[in-house]
Structure 1
Amino acid sequence: MRSTGHRPRCTASIGLVLALVLGCLGIQAGTGPPAQAATNQFHGVNWADYRDNYLTDPNVPIGLSTSDSYATTYAKATPILKGFQNLGANTIRFGINPQTTSSSWWNSLVAAYDAAAALGMNVMIAPWTQPGSGRITNMNAFYAMWDTVIAKYGGNSRFSFDLLNEPWGYSATELTDLAAAWLARYPAVPRGRMVIPGLWSDIDLCAVGADSRLKGTLLSIHMYTLGGETHPTEAAWIASFKGRLCGYADRAVLTEFGVPMTTGVNYNGPRDGNNNVSYYYALTDTVRSLGMGSLLWTGVKRADQTAGPGPCFNASCAITSLTGTGTNLSLTVTNRSGLDRLRYGWGLNDNGDGTAGVLRGAGSNRCLDVPGAATANGTLLNIWDCTGRTNQQWTQLSDGALQVYGNKCLDVPGQAPAPGTAVRIWDCTGGANQQWNLTADGTIVGRPSGLCLDVTGAGTANGTRVQLWTCSGAGNQKWIRK
């Protein structure tokens, strides 16, 4: 991410501006092979310095401090990383620079990387250029930085390496030559873990995708509403985004994208009419449909952070806010509808857009049903032949609730349910006992209990009760959103 004062759209030469305008219009010079799903193993967030990552001193991710020891950094990083995992993230992208790896802070910072790997997360490391440069200003320092990183993590399969964040000061030839030289320097690292940025600000994959010297690498693409690009519809944003992919979606990871999360915008609302909402629908729908990985800018802001140098800086575009002191840290979601859309792009939600649909049991082929279309609080739920009527139409709300009739929610009696607890409908309260995660494997998991929505005894007959049970992955716990 860069602040608007340093974006190439504002500072580029006439030729560069022309190229960027053409890119924004979806006009590309080259085409690549057909897109094949290949990168959706990456779904995560960027964990940035609160000042943004364009720095002349070491990078310090939000919540950490250069005075922290390795042990303290590990202890601080762990709850933050677990907070990211609670969003559904499995990947963290960190920014660095030569000053980071050459400082004593590096010996502590790696604790955050190690903590992520210990939690089973993917780690992507990306260097930022100096403020306002868009180019590497010291090649010796650049390679010394990468030598340090690769020596420590090159053999760890959880780590990927992003050559250079937003190299907007390079021509296509310069960038592809730089990438080829970088790959040649580290031949032992599998190319599937080496990430090559798109041209300009990671916004055009045509040149890097087509260069045979870069074959087998991942490709990084960024896309924002910054710089003046606007579209009235989701479809127009999709066309622009796909144009920039140049047919290389099978290798591409959307390593940065973002929208304001702290302004109360509803990202489960109508797709068209609001530029940010249309953009966010477009990118999350497209990465899901193409099987691309995506990493949100940004994962967290400080609780006291209200402003930054750009319109999509950490303070406004962060999906969580950091609270707590010392090593007793936690994250709170800043925009539940924004998280719904993000998770949808990751393949973790179905229809996470405020629309209603039936929930069909994979094992029974019958739908989650309110018996007799009853509306009374406490009515116990069952499965029944799918009719599509209102007593089978469930809407996923931004707080995780599943709502029927527009005012009743799928509810678990009590605050500490045990396996076998029957589920019911009740007035929507926003309570934790009405919050659910729709997971990628089709299970519906109660947030406070961790138990799954289950058809009793794996029954398939009309009227079979629905309950909570220990998650097993069996067909009577899997639901298809239609």
Structure 2
Amino acid sequence: MPHPLARFRRGTLTLAATVLAVATTTSTFTAFATDAPSTEAAQTAAPSSFHGVNWADPRDNYASDAVVPSGLSVTDDYGTVYRKAERMVEGFRENLGANTLRLPINPASVGTAWWNSYRAAIDAATKSGDKVILSYWESPTAKDGKVDDVAAWNQMWDTVTAAYRSNPRVYFEPMNEPFGYTSDQWIQVCADWLARHGDVPRSHVVISGTGYNDNVTGVGASPALNGTLLSLHFYGFWGSYKTEAEWIDNLLPRIGGYAYRTIIDEAGAPMTVGLNYGAHNGNVFTSYFAAVTDIARGMGMGMVYWPGLRTGDAYSIESLGADGRLHDNSASGVSQLKWGYGFGTIPPVNDQPPAPAGTQVTQTASGRCLDVPGYSTASGTQLDLWDCNGGGNQSWNYTATHLLTVYSNKCMQAGTGTVTAGAAVAIQDCTGLPAQQWTVNANGTITSGADSSLCLDTTASGTADGSTVVVATCSASVSQGWKVG
């Protein structure tokens, strides 16, 4: 375990000193941003200038057909996409201070009728002064971390680079999350890409780290990739740490001595569930987000948040209003992201609890928590079991009217009509109906207010992560035992 991170409340320590203090306790950390060789550093754009967001397809960017970022429609013409993209770019800049947009591409989106429209998003962003990172995402059909069809991939990139290689604001990321390749294989794929596109400045090529873009040390060390930028992904669901120091200890070895070349072009956390990102310890996601933003700032790395906008994603830091404008989903999250971008001089920390008031509901047989999957806030989302992490999606309040609420405005409900054994238990808008009422009994069971013979349970008496939650006939099964608090 690293030493606890010295908190810099009230501005008593500078960020650089804090990062240095933690880095010196991390034996695997090898170099700071200032250790960059001057000749190579001069060949690449400064990663610290990338303050960005991902603009993502509501279905995720893994698509067999065209990728269409949230708020756009495949039927939009060039002019319509341009106007929408202008508003998006303006909103990201006004709300977040963003100057970079990462956009997905795939062969179904390039050289097609949609490409003629989709290009307007790139054109609008670059004309406004934004940088644009174009990244290839594979189809979900295989989703094996490899290029789906090399010939189609090459043709796609030929078309894209021919259109934008001379645009100084466009950057090219050959593939997102190449986890299907070994390090040597991935380096060869990238070297081949660079050879094919020798007319693209290397300083405008962003090479993904190995695995799920989760480590840049291999690609950073390869002479074949000299002069390129690197990209790193880092997420809070990869661990269960609750201190910033532990997350930093996890992150630094993934960077090694290559911070001076690296853009963290995916990092994000739940922004729609009331977490307080000014509390840097005590919660998995707030401590994670503190770590990644502090390191990005302190080591001069670029940061591109995932996602700036993706409809239905609890991680989305912005929402698209009916007025066509973007609105912040989390004030404290926005403040911490801006800090990571390098804005401000006083760290946005506070002494408030990291998560909304509430308590965990744990299944006694497994010790796992009653959980809203993926931090979803959508009505109808079925609950499951998951390792307890202190998140807002596991913080429940048992009210005087026998409701179990989460996020302050969603209620746990059995079924959607008449409640019968086997009915799914999901979150719904609170109405106070009997199906939303529950009795917490002294014997550890939780029975439905609609039918007291039905107990809170899991499908097939499951105890594993992901076991879905239902009501079942009370039977004294161990899977029907719960602890509230």
Interval of TM-score (by shorter of Structure 1 and Structure 2): 0.5 to 0.7
Residue aligning to 1:259: 269
- What is the CA-CA distance between 1:354 and the residue it aligns to? 3.5
Q: TM-score, normalised by structure 2?
A: 0.63
1:203 aligns with 2:203: no
- What is the CA-CA distance between 1:355 and the residue it aligns to? 5.2
Q: Answer yes or no: is the 8 Å Cα contact 1:35–1:249 preserved in 2.
A: no
- What is the CA-CA distance between 1:222 and the residue it aligns to? 0.2
Q: Tell me which stretches of 4 or more aligned residues in structure 1 moved more than 4 Å.
A: 26-37
Residue aligning to 1:123: 132
1:287 aligns with 2:296: yes
Match of 2:251 among 221, 241, 266: 241
Which amino acid in the other structure matches residue 80 of structure 1?
M
1:341 aligns with 2:336: yes
Identity of aligned residues (%): 41
Residue aligning to 2:113: 104
Residue aligning to 2:17: none
Q: Answer yes or no: is the 8 Å Cα contact 1:32–1:206 preserved in 2.
A: no
1:149 aligns with 2:160: yes
- Helix, strand or coil at the partner of 1:46: strand
Match of 1:72 among 74, 80, 87: 80
- How is 1:258-407 mapped onto 2 (pairs within 5 angstroms)? 258-269=268-279, 271-302=280-311, 305=312, 315-324=313-322, 329-354=324-349
Runs of 5+ consecutive residues of structure 2 not aligned to the other structure = 1-25, 352-485
- Helix, strand or coil at the partner of 1:78: helix
**Distance in 1 of aligned mates of 2:90 and 2:29:** 43
**Distance in 1 of aligned mates of 2:144 and 2:82:** 33
Residue aligning to 1:159: 170
Judged with a 3 Å threshold, the aligned counterparts in structure 2 of structure 1 residues 27 and 354 are, in CA distance, closer, same or farther, namely: closer
Residue aligning to 1:44: 52
Q: How many residues align?
A: 315
- What is the CA-CA distance between 1:232 and the residue it aligns to? 2.7
Which amino acid in the other structure matches residue 329 of structure 2?
T
- What is the CA-CA distance between 1:30 and the residue it aligns to? 9.0
**Distance in 1 of aligned mates of 2:182 and 2:244:** 31
- What is the CA-CA distance between 1:194 and the residue it aligns to? 0.4
Which amino acid in the other structure matches residue 64 of structure 1?
L
Which amino acid in the other structure matches residue 335 of structure 1?
S
Deviations 1:365-401 (A, max 9, x none): xxxxxxxxxxxxxxxxxxxxxxxxxxxxxxxxxxxxx
- Helix, strand or coil at the partner of 2:145: coil
Which amino acid in the other structure matches residue 254 of structure 2?
R
Residue aligning to 1:231: 241
Residue aligning to 2:100: 91
Match of 1:63 among 71, 81, 106: 71
Deviations 1:198-223 (A, max 9, x none): 00010111210111010010001000
Which amino acid in the other structure matches residue 261 of structure 1?
M
Q: Answer yes or no: is the 8 Å Cα contact 2:69–2:310 preserved in 1.
A: no
Residue aligning to 1:433: none
Q: Answer yes or no: is the 8 Å Cα contact 1:175–1:199 preserved in 2.
A: yes
Q: TM-score, normalised by structure 1?
A: 0.63
**Distance in 1 of aligned mates of 2:179 and 2:29:** 18
- What is the CA-CA distance between 1:96 and the residue it aligns to? 0.9
- Helix, strand or coil at the partner of 2:119: helix
Judged with a 3 Å threshold, the aligned counterparts in structure 2 of structure 1 residues 120 and 68 are, in CA distance, closer, same or farther, namely: same
Residue aligning to 1:177: 188
- What is the CA-CA distance between 1:349 and the residue it aligns to? 2.2
